[in-house]
Amino acid sequence: MGGRLGNYEDSPVELNDFYLIEDLTTADRAERLERIQSFAAEAVDRLRHVVRSGLETHTHLLILTHIPPFKGAAWHEGEPSNDDWLPFFSCEAVGGVLTEVAGEHPSANLTVLCGHTHGEGVREVLPNLTVVTGGAVYGRPAIVDLINIA
């Protein structure tokens, strides 16, 4: 989650993550946002390096993220997430890096596999950048059939 998309300030959303993930446990919403954005900034620097390195030797990369990296890939109950959920269901910073690197390598393909929102869907962000968001039901682990959906 990146806190940049949607409306963090007015969102009534309280995820279990805020209580169960030690790095996110704070009663101060501004401090939580600062932590989330700090983690995202750290992650994108590493991601940019790893994806560029991967494309030096491969033409198709599978990129696994927990959080959907684009607004349109943050599916929730069959629809893209609304402004209340987007701050916690997407990471714009990661999406920016993937868009940047996909643009640098138009003949390569990037496929992102993610989850987190429990909703499922496929979003073609660019002709060479597709995001597959796997659905989930608590207590019912399942396997996503990538051959037939991506």
CB nearest Fe ion: which residue? 116
Q: Which burial class, exposed, middle or buried, applies to 65 when counting CB atoms under 10 A from its CB (0-12, 13-18, 19+)?
A: buried
Residue 116 touching Fe ion (CB under 5 A)? yes
Size of interface with Fe ion, in residues (CB under 5 A): 1
Which of 116/123 has CB closer to Fe ion? 116
Nearest approach in angstroms of CB 17 to Fe ion is: 6
Nearest approach in angstroms of CB 91 to Fe ion is: 12
List alpha helices for 4-71, DSSP H: 17-20, 29-54
Nearest approach in angstroms of CB 16 to Fe ion is: 9
Residue 76 touching Fe ion (CB under 5 A)? no
Can you count the helices (H) and strands (E) in the chain? 5, 6
25 neighbors 18 (Cβ within 8 angstroms)? yes
**Contacting positions for Fe ion (CB under 5 A):** 116
